[in-house]
Structure 1
Amino acid sequence: MKKFFKFGCLGIIALIVLGIIIAVATSGGDDSSNEPAKVGGDSAQKEKAQTTFKMGDTIQLGDHKVTVTKIDKSAGDEFETPKSGNEFVIVHVRIENGGKDQISYNSFDFQLKNSQGNIVDPGIITIDQDTSLDSGELAAGGKVEGTISFEAPKNDPDLDLIFTPSFWSDKKITINLN
């Protein structure tokens, strides 16, 4: 009887924990329920589910407002150089909290897609160490700016920055960098 009670209690606890995990995984915050939209765009543009934007656009996805302000390209310096045929692409971004609740941000919420269809995470590149975007939290109305560095083929004609603010959501923003 003691064995049954012990295993029965463990089974109930396991079911409760599993239920909590499923509830958290399937409940999206504001980020998963909204479609990306250009801030200040006209109403016709908002009616279409636009997912690709351009540099300079401020795009809102959930409570996150993201703007790519500019990009720089670099061949590196005496301490760090890209692979042969590549260059460093340094993307300047601004993230704003357009909601009432605190939001998280992280440079690893961003990826770079090149014209070959290769999607890469930010590199551990020190060329922008003074301006690089770290990770943290933004209070309602808060904003942060920083750079995110990638390595890409030199003079690639079709680079896209992909922003996915939530691990639990498949919603994302694509910003063409050319």
Structure 2
Amino acid sequence: MKKFGIGCLAILGGVFGLVLIISVGAMLSGGDDDATASDQTTTSVDDSADAAVAEDAKKVDKKSTEATKSDDSEKAEKVEKTAGIGDPVRDGDFTFTVTKVTDGPARIGDEYLNTKPQGKFVFVHVTVENHGKEAGTFFGDNQYLVDTQGRKASADSEAAVYLKDAQSLLEEINPGNKLSGVVIFDVPKDATPASLELHDSMLSGGVKVAVK
């Protein structure tokens, strides 16, 4: 009877041990599955984040490229729109049209009252029209000539006194009226006019006209 009881206990102990081993194995297997699932979830999140960053980078590059193209187009448009001789350009209330640019004489005036240049005279023939609501004053000294060496010369108002019908010393233009005059510049003998900077007043932004 004792032997039978001991045998039963041994069998029960073996069964219990087997169940315990199976349970532990199942728990360990489940932990691995959870870790794998966790790793897969983390990988998926990382991949999504990388994809989002890449997409944002593409958008930034696209915007940068479009901005560069826009800047290039604006620069090209400005170059194309640079006015030349015969083109009307507006600054403030005045519209200027440069009709021609010529070398002036070695002396302006008559044999008694005259003036000579330090270098050479350049005559800029221009038409000025007032589009404003009030009278405006066209003043030769507000105009500038830039040569091919980048030198900027102001007008020679004294020489304009000696030139008949220069109409560029200090001329008032009523609204709707226009005048044709000559702005005189005294520039170095080696100067070649490249452009003009024309203003309706001393403080205006000015407008550029290419003459070369």
Q: Where on the TM-score scale, by shorter chain, does this alignment land: which range?
A: 0.5 to 0.7
2:178 to 143, 161, 165: 143
Shift in Å at residue 127 of structure 1? 8.8
Shift in Å at residue 128 of structure 1? 5.8
Change (3 A) 1:98 1:119: same
Distance of 1:149 and 1:60 partners within structure 2: 21
Shift in Å at residue 167 of structure 1? 2.8
Distance of 2:169 and 2:187 partners within structure 1: 21
Cα RMSD (Å)? 2.7
Shift in Å at residue 158 of structure 1? 4.3
Correspondence 1:177 to 2:211: yes
Q: Deviations over 1:41-96 (max 9, x none)?
A: xxxx9xx567742111111223211011112203513854434xx42101111110
CA contact under 8 A between 1:128 and 1:149: conserved in structure 2? no
Larger radius of gyration: 2
Q: Partner amino acid for 1:136? A: E
Q: Deviations over 1:87-138 (max 9, x none)?
A: 2101111110123332221111211111222212112226961022221322
Q: Which has the higher contact order (CA 8 A, sep 6+)?
A: 1
Correspondence 1:54 to 2:84: yes
Match of 1:115 in 2: 148
User: Once structures 1 and 2 are overlaid, which stretch shifts more, 146-155 or 106-115?
Assistant: 146-155
Correspondence 1:153 to 2:188: yes
More helix by share: 2
With structure 1 as the length reference, what TM-score do the two structures score?
Answer: 0.61
Structure 2 unaligned blocks of 5 or more: 1-73
Distance of 1:155 and 1:127 partners within structure 2: 25
Structure 1 unaligned blocks of 5 or more: 1-44
Distance of 2:177 and 2:137 partners within structure 1: 11
1:71 to 101, 124, 131: 101
Shift in Å at residue 141 of structure 1? 0.6
